[in-house]
Amino acid sequence: MATLKPGLRKGLLAGGIAVALTGGGAAAVWAGTQPSPSPSSSSTSPGSSASGKAKATEGRGQAIHGEHVVKQQDGSYRTVVTQAGTIESVSDTEMTVKSEDSFTQRYLITADTRITQVPTDLSGLRNGRGRPSLPAATVADLKAGDKVRVSGSKDGDAVTATKIVSGELPAGVKGHGPKRGHGPKF
């Protein structure tokens, strides 16, 4: 077998790579121009219709209520419940919250439940230094009709509130409401 000069070897190698890439590019173009196989089900994909636009924004709004399972550091699992809504009733040991879609949940309130309240004047919360911290509140500060966001742990049918945030952010505060990074865009 004859040996090739290094320059000729490099040239042939480069030519081979070019042919392979060109063939691959041609195959990609050919595949892109072929019609897609028709699906076996009768599902249709949304076009630029109004329903298609509605589906495109689906899932981007503020969560109203939900439940999910998280794995703890010790390997055990915990069910976390979250809800935004209005307090229907409250006592020293429990609170019932109703969301705008009429979902209702009863939460047990313990000494470990952290309660905070969004103040009406937000100017002193941050002062340009990092993340704001909300002032602490007590169960006595909560009353029927208050807007709240609650998170808790579920054990069987009982849900114990771990954190309650009472009050609402004003409409112009960054990160709240539509067109501020959360919620559907109008």
Which residue positions in the chain have pLDDT lower than 70? 1-60, 122-132, 170-186
Distance between CA atoms of residues 146 and 132, nearest Å: 21
pLDDT of residue 118: 87
pLDDT of residue 141: 94
